[in-house]
Chains A and B, each alone.
Chain A
């Protein structure tokens, strides 16, 4: 049925009844209308972005990356630049698997490691072979893709769900294998060759050859950076065309509805395997770069932590969005790097909370109530505790600055805080859950102590492990929240269920 919103403009004549119009899809019209209706800055940016031709979009996205090496030093280029680009490359490959084809590949990082180790076995001082890069990289990529194919084939008949668990187990098996395959006493004796030191075990496979194309050696971080960036640009271009192609359309179709796609006589399983292989190959290729950059491959680098990071990038960037992934990589890699010093981390924490409140709380006077209420609540609690329980404020916030000193007079920092902070963390989780259940003014009021509690837990507990557990806790919570609020990711186009 045509919704009433299509009849804007000329009012219908008296004899016209509300009937379906041939050739006008209600859904398309709805989307168009909603897009036009987007006002303000976001709508402006979005419409402007869509007007830029694809090549221009690529330049806009990657241009700043190309300038970056000339305005920064070596260390920052490695940490913020090279790693971000490598993450982006990885995330784009994963986006084909998860975002285009809708497969949950939890062994993706194993393929990344596979590429690094294969390259290391073919070209390093550790293994004693020094194969030419022009041969070694294609071999590594093809072999990784074939491993992906074999793994996918095993769960061929139930490719959707079981793939997740097979790949997760594959990652686990991979980590166990590379940790132990050093030809030591606990290792396999292989048929024909006996015990071989394949991966160097827990110490890693060292002395991997630097990349060297037709006599041109890449030696500096800058060289690797540009090599990776160019690979990223090529891959993005390629995916842009793949996305428009028959295969790309088929992938999207089967992501939206595998059953309908199958009924339309698409070879669903073959398409899924293709996407899976494509992801594996991309990861393998990125692995060769990472191995060469580090001049070594170490088992600890290819574990679940990295997997989570890449997933966070893909989901933040939007499932199926090519450009969004680059932004996602920038955010996900940049934020924890900023988190390394505790005063930066503090600014980021309070900044993000403030931003979230600004976005989430309407109308404005509720926001004012929450902010003023939290400040007042904290001041009162602090004053009471000073009078009643001096130990409760005896500590000082970690890291200084004027902001830190101000916090000292607001947040409770007890000495010997471990047990209290543990319980506070527990209560904070409960409080956050309760917040999602209550509505209206109750929520506004409940938000005030919750915010104060969050700040208490942050200053006393979370800030200790900012680059370790805290980071992953926040990423985990982020995944759940984003999935609940926007299942397609932040920059992804939200899809519409057609029933």
Chain B
């Protein structure tokens, strides 16, 4: 028996040692400043690995680690709960950014030099994401994406289909494609977030860009602003494969890559995944023509990746150095080559060819941010849209939208209204 106990003890001690060996060491090891960055796009892991390696080769005093975990937002939030924050986070310009900023977790980086080279329109998009206007700047927009409709160039050329510019033309095109015995659209609605792709793209054409802010101020309702959008989005279903709720985003990308559908309503962020299935595919895109008036179509574009320095970061200079490095033209190019994105920095970058069809909108700044960047994630608007697409009841969907909006945003609405009041009475304090 004793032998067994000794054995058990040894096993335990060994395990204890093994565990102690990998305890997290503090900020510096062998004199270097450690900078840890977590970025939320696992599909871009290769680009970031390259940058990480390059950075560490050229910097003796800073050791940079970049993590690109799957389900990064959950991991990030779990780490916030743990109060174990990285130095820099790379996230999207969406409601999470608004929340982190509102919770006072991000550092004001207005003194960061690199901001001068960032296009104003993207800084404005970030400004609009602030729940209540803040002083200072809290994020460096890095790359943007665009969402609309991706189409299979070969199929379009073979059949002589033309790019639609209005809703009627679009429906006509869908009918033509279907009549030819081919599948016009493919959806991956098993992953609920993909329901937001057509929703956002159409919302740009059909609803005011600041609809959420307007609702928060109490000047309008979603039932009013989203009615046409709800009526139109459901008309797309007959043109897609049967049972779109059985297939995931991955399945849809694969199907589109294999030519099973002529078009795919998704953002430019899906292109690398599609090309991984079919590297020779010719893809181009056009703006979702949801409006009846061709001049009123607006490109859906938002900040896909931006960097923020956490307030708790102890080495601001080192963090800035990392950001500066990321913004060097050749490093942005590393990212662009991997990910087909639109850079937020001024300069002569070549836009990926699959954005040819929407170039004009980008150059003329006819762009609106994703509406869902303003939706609170716990409200699960994606699942609400999925529910609506399945049951087709627009009235109850819109009524629920308005009701839930107030329920999930009431602290925010109170804050905004309080701010407006103070702002109105006390003049501008800034």
Co-assembled chains A and B:
no
